[in-house]
Amino acid sequence: MKIAMMLCLLVLTAETSWAAFDDYQRFRKGMYEFEAETQYFKTDANYTDGGGSYQKLLYGQSFEIFNFYLKSSYDFSKNSSFYGSLDLANATSNGLTTARSNSSVTGAYLGYAYRPYNEAFDLVTDFNVLIPFQKTDQNTDTAINSEGVIEATGLLRAQKDFTTFSALGYAGVTYRQARSSLVPWGIGVEANYAKWAWGGKVFGYQSVTDDPDTKNKIQRTIVTDRVNASSLYFYSVNPSVVDSEAWVRFKFDNAWALTVGGGTTITGSNTAAGFHAGATIKYSWDSEPSYYMKPGVSTQEDGLSSERKVPKFKEETDDGVNQKLFQKKGITPGAPAPRPGGDMTPAADNVAMKKAGPQPTPAQIEAGDGGEVQLKLKRKRKKKPTS
């Protein structure tokens, strides 16, 4: 029932760009992460409108784009994170007679991720918004390096860490202003070792609503033919794609990691066919390392600090020896100490204790003024002999 309720939270996902080496979401309260990521994509073909096949761009034309992302994130709690990024893009189209280029800061991502369930596996909801810094002009004479529209994307991730490797899958919805809406999806695995890791995934998106220009597609084609060497990487009508990616991550220490990888498109429709490659350098800073040292706080990163994984100490007494031999006679373990006079019944809390009368003893103990204890012995009287 709980899982079903979590699935109802299918609020949307994540990144539809070619970049995404870190799909697996990990949370650690107080953790800051800073990334610099580069991605390169080149194409000389387009997938056809019917899908399943592609056609080369006429006359040996090509299109390529180089993206540089500046990313940062902060784990607000053990189950939530805020993140953002800036995208700098340089696009170059090699047309029949002219080469065009365009370099600019295209937009910014702002997002929030939350993990509502983390028992048998993790469910992570992720929502972000892309704010463009420029719009696509139909009269432009430079290469197009972004869609230039507002995008609200999100997804639900299901992921599981199996210690030596991790697996994940996701699906969601992307709303695009003045474009078709998309369903992004993906599935992948990553094997983890002490100093490095490797992984791969298959991912993509599918148009699920019609573009406003579906019936007037020729107007979009005129623009892409003129400035993007006929490539449909941007500004296409109802695009869909199936892509692939593989990567290797090198862990220098707890703070620094380098990831390199690449992949190629598999199939699609109304979009570019090509290959891509990239690299990411990440720096992580734990601002609250003492948080997970507090009693009762557990963390998935360190098994020894988890109360669920470290058993509590319990003395082993089942060794064949009768433990009653080590107990005082007449006293039950855990019972209150007896009161003077031999009465074993505990006194009530509101009853005053009455001092017992003097008991006949062979000796009297007296405390001197100097704090010393003196013993005073009494002479035992001899009985008179009877006649």
| 283 within 8 A of 291, measured Cβ to Cβ | no
pLDDT of residue 62: 97
Q: Please state the rounded mean pLDDT for residues 128-151.
A: 95
Whether residue 370 has pLDDT greater than 60? no
Adjacent-strand bridge partners of 249: 197, 259
**How far, in Å, CA of 245 to CA of 188, rounded?**
9
User: Are the C-beta atoms of 46 and 54 separated by less than 8 Å?
Assistant: yes
Q: What share of the chain is helix, strand, coil (3-state, %, to 5)?
A: 10, 45, 45
pLDDT computed for residue 50 by the predictor: 86
Q: Looking at residue 306, what is its pLDDT?
A: 38
pLDDT at 14: 36
pLDDT of 288: 86
Phi, psi of 82 (to 5 degrees): -110, 145
pLDDT at 156 over 70: yes
Cβ atoms of 75 and 50 within 8 Å: the answer is no
The more confidently predicted of residues 337 and 133 is 133
* Residue type at 255 in one-letter notation: A
Q: What is the mean pLDDT of residues 331-360?
A: 52
In the block, residue with structure tokens 């993990």 = 115
Mean pLDDT across the chain, nearest whole number?
82
Q: Which of 80, 69, 77 is nearest to 18 (CA)?
A: 69
Query: Which whole number is the average pLDDT over 316-341?
Result: 56
The pLDDT of residue 163: 86
Q: Which pLDDT score is estimated for 3?
A: 43
Judge residue 268's burial from the number of C-beta atoms within 10 Å of its C-beta, 0-12 exposed, 13-18 middle, 19 or more buried.
buried
> To which residue do tokens 């998309």 refer?
182
For range 274-299, the mean pLDDT? 83
How many Cβ atoms from other residues are within 10 Å of residue 151's Cβ? Answer: 20
pLDDT the model gives residue 382: 59
Q: What mean pLDDT do residues 111-135 have?
A: 96
- Percent share of the chain, pLDDT over 70: 70
| pLDDT at 303 > cutoff 50 | no
Q: What's the average model confidence in pLDDT over 47-63?
A: 93
Q: CA 28 to CA 279: how far, in whole Å?
A: 24
Average of pLDDT values for 330-348? Answer: 53
**What pLDDT sits at residue 23?**
78
pLDDT bucket at 16, cuts 50 / 70 / 90 = very low
Q: What's CA 48's distance to the chain center, in Å?
A: 38
Output the pLDDT for position 365: 46
Q: How far is 261 from 348, CA to CA, in rounded Å?
A: 76
pLDDT of residue 386: 57
Q: Given this model, what pLDDT does residue 4 score?
A: 44
Instruction: Read off the pTM.
Output: 0.72
Task: Determine if residue 219 is left, alpha or beta; phi over 0 gives left, psi from -120 to 50 gives alpha, anything else beta.
Answer: alpha
Query: What are the strands, taking DSSP E only, across the chain?
Result: 31-47, 54-56, 62-74, 80-94, 99-118, 122-132, 151-161, 165-176, 182-192, 196-207, 240-251, 256-269, 272-286, 363-367, 373-377
Distances (CA, A) of 191 to 73, 119, 268, 278: 24, 21, 29, 19
Q: Please answer whether residues 58 and 97 qualify as being in contact, where contact means their C-beta atoms are separated by less than 8 angstroms.
A: no
Q: Using pLDDT thresholds of 50, 70 and 90, give the confidence band for residue 289.
A: confident
- Please tell me the distance from the alpha carbon of residue 114 to that of residue 77, in angstroms, as a whole number: 9
Mean pLDDT on 82-101: 95
Specify whether the CB–CB gap between 272 and 240 falls below 8 A: no
Residue 277 pLDDT? 97
Q: Which band of pLDDT confidence, cut at 50, 70 and 90, is reported for residue 324?
A: low
3-state secondary structure of 265: strand
pLDDT in tens, 196-233: 999 999 999 999 999 999 998 999 999 999 999 999 99
In this predicted structure, the answer to whether residue 8 has a pLDDT above a threshold of 50 is: no
List the single range of 34-43, 251-260, 294-303, 359-368 with lowest mean pLDDT.
359-368
Pairwise CA distance, residues 18 & 241, whole Å: 11
pLDDT of residue 331: 55
Per-position DSSP letters for 25-69, written without gaps between them: ----TTEEEEEEEEEEEEEEEEE-TTSS-EEEPGGG-EEEEEEEE
Q: Say how far apart CA 355 and CA 352 lie, in whole Å.
A: 10
CA 35 to chain centre: 15
Between these two residues, 139 and 12, which has the higher pLDDT value?
A: 139
Kindly list the distances between the CA atom of residue 368 and the CA atoms of 299, 302, 371, 378, in Å, as whole numbers in the listed order.
62, 62, 5, 18
